[in-house]
Structure 1
Amino acid sequence: MSEAPNPAAPSLLVVDDDADMLRLLTMRLTAAGYRVTAVTSAEAALTELQLHRPQLVLSDVRLPGKDGLALFDDIRARHPSLPVILLTAHGTIPDAVEATERGVFTYLTKPFDGKALEGKIAEALLLSAPVNPARQGSPEAWQTRIISRSSRMAEVLAEARMVATSDASVLLRGESGTGKELLAQAIHQASARAAKPFIAVNCGAIPEALLESELFGHVKGAFTDAVSNHKGLFQAADGGTLLLDEIGDMPPALQVKLLRVLQEHEVRPVGASQSIAVDVRIISATHRDLDAAMAAGDFRADLYYRLNVVTLTLPPLSERREDIALLANHFLVTLAAKYDKRLSSFAPEALKALTTAAWPGNVRQLYNVVEQVCALSTTPLVPLALVQRALRSPSIQVLTFAEAKQRFERDYLVGLLKLTDGNVADAARLADRNRTEFYRLMQKHGLTPGHFKADSTQPSAD
């Protein structure tokens, strides 16, 4: 007695009017682990599609009545994201090529190689597979936000899961946009500190004059405009995890102070005479070559070894291509909600273009490309042309007008205050605004002029 097909196995609809060929295909694909429904005409295939939605259609081009190309057109109209593979004799190759340009996933000529057919089916199913991340509350809930089926990422996550159980400092390496902050959050969620705060700070995005105060805090009167005590990020993360992103960009003077905090488990706010005990797990991240930075004298070796107890390296997106379709469809669902659009999926040829692109900007670039096509798409199925346009254009983050204005205002104010050494009167004059309005803008963006004065950083006592 033959075994019942696995209900979780991928389902295929096979269409061929040749009874022997249909029997051969059914046997081969069932043996390969698929659930196969076999029909002998396009009309029967369309009836079957009304009853059950397969994950892929495999059809001969030459069929009685409606042919395989017409069947593809009907499938595309009704189920635009359903992948279709055509089987064709040599005489119908031109028609099959044209169909591929219109969106058929691929075609194979008869007689076909069985392994090649199974390979193409597996590739099509991989590209069109739905996202199925770990559910909250499951043993894998800690990594729910990391969407992946890649073996490379599985290795990284297995190492992350092991290191999460300790309090060892972790250094995350990887190109920009590979997901280092997401991995840091996952490590925090898998640790005993999960109920406490996770705080991330980009050491390269905060002006040097502000960074010490942001990390360690300051007391009232420590510098001009320090009108109250300010709790730093180390204190805010007490009991939890602090991610020091782009640690390679930390100024040398602050590297010394950070090393002291890591050694003594205490912070001294700017202007304070007493230190405050903190219990924080440190995860640091960088895309820079810290070994080269140490050799150049830009990064302290003693701090490096303190931070680099365990190193995890995230692979670039080009080395985990099996994740591209998974991520793209996940982003599409998320961003369709943001833009209030009914977007079902990518056209098969659009998804193929995404999976073969270079992705120098990694997952962040993929997100931005998907955001661009979401913003511009006028049809439920994202077409190839829109993806090609997004890939050709510089990958930019799509912001609302209000978000872009907010970002520009803050960057503009920071630039003026740095230029004028924190002198509000000079900065307001350069901006052609009165001091009252300039102060209001500064307050809106949480800026204080004292942070930009050359003498605002107080030397700490040894």
Structure 2
Amino acid sequence: MEEKKQRLLLVDDDTDLLRLLSIRLRGAGYEVNIAESGEEALAKIPAVRPHLVITDLRMAGMDGMALFDAIRTRQGSLPVIILTAHGSIPDAVEATRRGVFSFLTKPLDSKALLEEIQRALRIAGGSAEQESSEGMSWRSEIITKSPTMEDLLAKARLAAESDAAVLIRGESGTGKELIARAIHRASARADKPFVAVNCGAIPDTLLESELFGHTKGAFTGAMKDYPGLFRSAEGGTLFLDEIGDMPLPLQVKLLRVLQEKQMRPVGSVATCAVDVRIISATHRHLEEEISADRFREDLYYRLNVVSLDLPSLAERREDIPLLANHFLQKFAARSGKKVTGFAPEAMEALLSASWPGNVRQLINVVEQGLALTTTSLISASLVADAIHENIESIPPFSEARRQFEQDYLVRLMQLTRGNVAHAARLAGRNRTEFYKLLGRHHIVPSLFKNV
């Protein structure tokens, strides 16, 4: 298999030097692109997607440091090496302090330049040989050609090199768990467990036991010892999804575990050491939650060592055809239907939709279109109907919560045959509060006594 080359972007207004450097670096096995000004370089970066930029310091118009500042704003993980015939120690110190990877003076030592290039590429995410041999398997679940996503993945690859805590922000349905799994696969912990828990999907009364485990008899229903998810992830990665939904009392306990690297199961007097890497995710604005006293600031800084902002599907529209066809092929193979793609008008509808549910909504739309099509191409009308139904099917939060509470209370009444005291204990609420909940939903306990 042909080895995948690393892409370099050379920037200099000296065309003779550009030509000479290009010959040397292509001879060393790199794919070389050139730009004769900082402005041209910025225009080329989204198309070329270089792994490294090498730029002269002194150029007409935008100089090397101005180019670096612009790159850092747009694509912070892209390494930059600056070359200059006017180098000095103060210049080099200032450049590296601001984040420039390396500062080399002319005339260039070819060996030193190649060594710096190799070091920058290795630190920024692996050599060409590594990419070829690994087949980019660490990110194989992520389908994209978006420069924004590629930049995020570059940061994720760098974050994977350490044990630093990572906070992934993004709207619901954008694929935060996929990014977490990719970081785990790229890390030194890849051969250890990856354990995910949705902090918003587990009742407050059970979440502590779920995370830290419990001993037999610690509470009603604890029939045997349970190790908990921290110990299940020992040596690996624990992914705390929707961390913003974690109740405040449990935030205190989680902070203590992260600080001390030890935990105590519910009902136990003994602590045990834990070795896990924490990746968390949220769709909430945690800064606002902190201001409202719903999230601890000290825990926020402990979790947010590296921050990754996952774009919505509407912000990466160039990926919609890739994703839609990927999911279509996957579902068609599973169902055995001979559906090969989308009609042109259908793809236009996909590209122009607002996608409030992000990739998760797109998956649903593709699956629905496949299920209902009678031809080899999914039509625009099927796509439009599926998108409309998906939007209409998402109820307001208040309505969804009301419906959940009502269904939950009805199930409890059925289970306990209308015994309010028993139901209140199962729900972890006092009887007075539980009666209020029943009254709010017009549920009469006596009606369930003979059910």
What secondary structure sits across from 1:394 in the alignment?
helix
Aligned to 2:385: 389
Residue 306 of structure 1: aligned partner = 302
Q: 1:415 to 1:311 in 2, by over 3 A?
A: same
Residue equivalent to 1:294: 290
User: What residue is the counterpart of 1:125 in the other structure?
Assistant: none
SS at match of 2:190: coil
CA contact (8 A) 2:236 2:276 kept: yes
Q: 1:370 matched to which residue of 2?
A: 366
C-alpha separation in 2, matches of 1:325 and 1:192: 34
2:390 match: secondary structure: coil
Partner Cα distance (1:361, 1:367) in 2:
10
- Contact preservation (8 Å) 1:209, 1:451: no
Distance 1:430 1:368, change over 3 A: farther
Structure 2 alignment gaps of length 5 or more: 1-129, 394-403, 431-451
- Are the equivalent residues in 2 in contact too, given 1:198–1:242 (CA < 8 A)? yes
CA distance, structure 1, for counterparts of residue 314 and residue 358 of structure 2: 7
Distance 1:137 1:229, change over 3 A: farther
1:368 touches 1:396 (CA, 8 Å); kept in 2? no
Q: Distance in 1 between matches of 2:131 and 2:382?
A: 32
**What amino acid sits opposite 1:295 in the alignment?**
S
Q: Displacement of 1:430 after TM fit? A: 4.6
**2:335 maps to amino acid:** Y
| C-alpha contact 1:417 1:449 (8 A) present in aligned 2 | no
Report the counterpart of residue 180 of structure 1 in structure 2: 176
Q: How does 1:44-83 map to 2 (within 5 A)?
A: none
Q: Conserved in 1, the CA contact under 8 Å of 2:200 and 2:246?
A: yes
Superposed counterparts of 1:69-218, under 5 Å: 138-218=134-214
Q: Distance in 2 between matches of 1:412 and 1:320?
A: 36
Does residue 429 (structure 1) correspond to residue 417 (structure 2)? The answer is: yes
Match of 1:28 in 2: none
Q: How many residues align?
A: 289
Deviation of 1:152 (Å): 0.5
Matching residue of 1:350? 346
What's the C-alpha RMSD, in Å, of the aligned pairs? Answer: 2.7
Q: CA deviation at 1:395?
A: 4.9
Aligned residues with identical type, % of pairs: 58
- Segments of 5+ residues of structure 1 without an aligned counterpart are 1-133, 398-410, 421-425, 436-447, 456-462
Aligned residue for 1:260? Answer: 256
Q: Which AA in structure 2 matches 1:197?
A: P
Provide the C-alpha distance between the structure 2 equivalents of 1:412 and 1:392, rounded to a whole number of angstroms: 27
- Matching of residues 29-48 of structure 1 within 5 Å: none
Bigger radius of gyration among the two? 1
Give TM-score, length-normalised by structure 1: 0.59
Give the whole-Å Cα distance in 2 for the aligned partners of 1:135 and 1:385. 42
Q: 1:377 to 1:428 in 2, by over 3 A?
A: farther
Shift of 1:330: 0.4
Q: Secondary structure of the equivalent of 1:147?
A: coil
SS in 2 for 1:320: helix
**8 Å contact from structure 1 (residues 217, 232) kept in 2:** yes
Query: 2 CA distance for matches of 1:146 and 1:450?
Result: 44
Specify whether residues 216 and 257 from structure 1 end up closer, same or farther in structure 2 by C-alpha distance, changes over 3 A only.
same
**1:335 and 1:246 mapped to 2: Cα distance?**
28
Q: Match of 1:232?
A: 228
Q: Which of 350, 357, 372 is matched with 1:361 structurally? A: 357
Greater relative CO, 1 or 2 (CA 8 Å, sep 6+): 1
Amino acid at match of 2:194: F
Match of 2:78 in 1: none
TM (norm. structure 2) is 0.60
User: 2:365 touches 2:390 (CA, 8 Å); kept in 1?
Assistant: no
**Conserved in 2, the CA contact under 8 Å of 1:252 and 1:300?**
yes
Q: 1:152 to 1:382 in 2, by over 3 A?
A: same
| Aligned-residue offset at 1:211 | 0.5
Greater alpha carbon shift after TM alignment, 411-420 vs 322-331: 411-420
Map of 2:269 onto structure 1: 273
Q: Is the 8 A contact 1:210 1:452 kept in 2?
A: no
Distance 2:174 2:162 in 1: 24
Counterpart CA distance in 1 for 2:293 and 2:424 is 32
Q: Distance in 2 between matches of 1:142 and 1:413?
A: 43
Structure 1 counterpart SS, 2:224: coil
Letter in 1 for 2:415: A
Counterpart residue type for residue 290 of structure 2? M
Asked if the contact 2:361–2:390 (Cα under 8 Å) also holds between the matched residues in 1, the reply is no
Cα distance, 1:240 vs structure 2: 0.4
Aligned to 1:415: 408
SS at match of 1:360: coil
C-alpha contact (below 8 Å) 1:241/1:281 kept by paired residues: yes
